[in-house]
Amino acid sequence: MGSRMRLTHQQTAERRLHHALKEPRLSQCQDCDAKHRRHTMCEECGRYKGRLVVDVAAQAQKKAERLARKARSYGEEVPTEGHTTTVEETTPEKKEVTPKTKKASPQEKGANVETKKEDK
């Protein structure tokens, strides 16, 4: 590489001037008032310009059924729709903690040896 190919800092900065990220342009859904990107359907209700494009509720139900089938195949318990879990069901049982015995440090061991010598 010769010096002719080298760019100045100003030339590099001018080239990178347009590399900055821009915030997405958002619009508000006519039906559910959720924010969505322009010229795309609303991900909350599945509508674009007032007409239904994707049935989001049906997709959510299919996904729940698929996950329930998968959980059953692994032998896990699947909660039914009317069943709500309680705090007792979700918290694991606590094991009793027994205090560990403290090991004597080398200094304490030396002190015990000295007191035994004095006793003799």
Q: How far is CA 86 from CA 79, 80, 83, in A?
A: 12, 14, 10
pLDDT tens for 100-117 read 676 666 666 665 555 555
Residue 1 CA to residue 23 CA, distance in Å, equals 39
**What is this structure's pTM?**
0.43
Contact 12, 25 (CB under 8 A): no
Contact 56, 48 (CB under 8 A): no
> Is the four-CA dihedral 30, 33, 37, 43 of positive or negative sign?
negative
Residue 42 CA to residue 44 CA, distance in Å, equals 5
pLDDT tens for 35-94 read 999 999 998 899 998 899 999 889 999 999 999 999 988 887 776 665 555 545 555 566
Looking only at the bridges linking them, the beta strands covering 26-28 and 35-37 are antiparallel
Residue 79 CA to residue 68 CA, distance in Å, equals 9
